[in-house]
Amino acid sequence: MSTIILVEDEQDIMTIMVEVLEMDGHKVKAFCEADSAWNHIQHNGFDADLLITDLRMPGSIDGLQLVHRLHDLLPQIPVVVASGFHAAAERLDDHHVHWLNKPFSLDQLQAICQKLTSH
């Protein structure tokens, strides 16, 4: 079973994503802003197989900064950026960063998570 850290500030989207990922057999640790996810990572290490994050969200850091901080520590960790905001794409030009453009289908979410968490 893989573990996914999910960071999404829109509660309805987060709830649906958690339900779908858990139905697929993933354990999901969900956070509503990047600050909480980063605090979790700092205190527990990156205790997951995959990070899924939105880019724009409230707090002192956004999804872009979260990805950079994580990859400064663990550059090999795969990340899915689930966002409709594409201006940051060139700042996340990394083969460990995968884009899931909003709006996305649940099938697209399931497929990318399956691909990135299958060991």
**Residues 43-63: tens digit of each pLDDT:** 999 999 999 999 888 999 999
Strand partners, 99: 81
CB–CB of 33/9 below 8 Å? yes
What CATH number does the domain containing 44 carry?
3.40.50.2300
Range of the domain at 44: 3-117
Rounded average pLDDT over 65-86: 90
Q: Where are the beta strands (DSSP E) in 41-103?
A: 50-53, 79-83, 97-101
Provide the pLDDT for residue 109.
96
Rounded to the nearest 5°, which phi and psi values hold at 82?
A: -105, 100
What does the pLDDT read at residue 112? 95
For the chain, the domain total comes to 1
At 106, is the pLDDT very low, low, confident or very high (cuts 50, 70, 90)?
very high
Q: Predicted confidence band at 113 (pLDDT cuts at 50, 70, 90)?
A: very high
CB 44 within 8 A of CB 74: no
